[in-house]
Amino acid sequence: MTVFDETFTMNNGVKIPKLALGVWEIPDDQTADAVKSAVKIGYRHIDTAQAYGNERGVGEGVRNAGIPRDQLFVNSKVAAEIKNYDEAKQSIDETLNKMGLDYLDMMIIHNPQPWKEVNQGNDRHFEGNLETWRAMEDAVKAGKLKTIGVSSFQKEDLDNLIKNSDTKPAVNQVQIHIGDTPTDIIKYSQDNGIVVEAFSPIAHGAAMNNDLIKKMAAKYNVSVPQLCIRYDWQLNVVVLPKTANRDHMKSNADIDFEISDEDMKTLAKLDQMEYGDASVFPVFGGKL
């Protein structure tokens, strides 16, 4: 059994592969080739978003990947700005049209707040998220989506959906990496039967410059990205490393080693890293 065969079973009974290819910042005209390369290597889970501007390329890659559609798990995200039923419904149809696919395995709300409010305001858009969620639930009933979930949701955001809708989120996709391990929300999600997914496992590249991480990687005779991906893997979460580089796709999946409990604790205590140029993005603490 390879890492590509490992799955979690979500609360609706659908299996989700534990390792995914993330495609943020891959230009649309390069995305199809990236997806096809990943599938050849063994990846079975592709993660995109309306905001990435490359759903079309992902769809092309999936359609031409050379394996049956039902063997791939394809996820996209409703734009964070959409907080009402009609726009959410329309956006799901647009995504399917762009991708040329009959259904998606999963769609998630990209953020509880529109990006321009992240790190700036306290409005959690409870009503708006419920509206978007209802559109997603209806898309499941219509056979357009198999599963629905959320991203960057805190406890109060999850509770809003759990208490006020018929569908518990299947996943909560959060930023998790060495230097930023949000233990409370990981535990709360998992305790509630919600699979946790880790985005930016390599801290948007910042981990590459960290001396402690470099030293630890050398100790295990692995690369910094391999150590980072394995760290997240051992937290029992889905991991979404992103790359368009075929060699990196291969090495990112080569994580057949075990980080000791002691070293996991050392890495968990690491302070937040500087994200450099990426720090402008709201997910990394920036403001739009």
Positions annotated as catalytic residues are 52
Does 110 appear as a known binding residue? yes
Give yes or no for a contact between 21 and 46, defined as CB atoms under 8 angstroms apart: yes
Q: Minimal CA–CA distance to 107: which of 93, 127, 128?
A: 93
Q: Minimal CA–CA distance to 172: which of 147, 146, 154?
A: 154
- Which phi and psi angles does 198 have, rounded to 5°? -105, 115
251: which residues sit within 8 A by CB, 6+ positions away? 223, 225, 226
- Quick count: other Cβ atoms within 10 Å of Cβ 160? 20
| CA distance linking residue 200 with residue 183, whole number of Å | 16
Q: Which residues make up each annotated binding site for substrate? A: 110
Q: Which residues make up each annotated binding site? A: 110
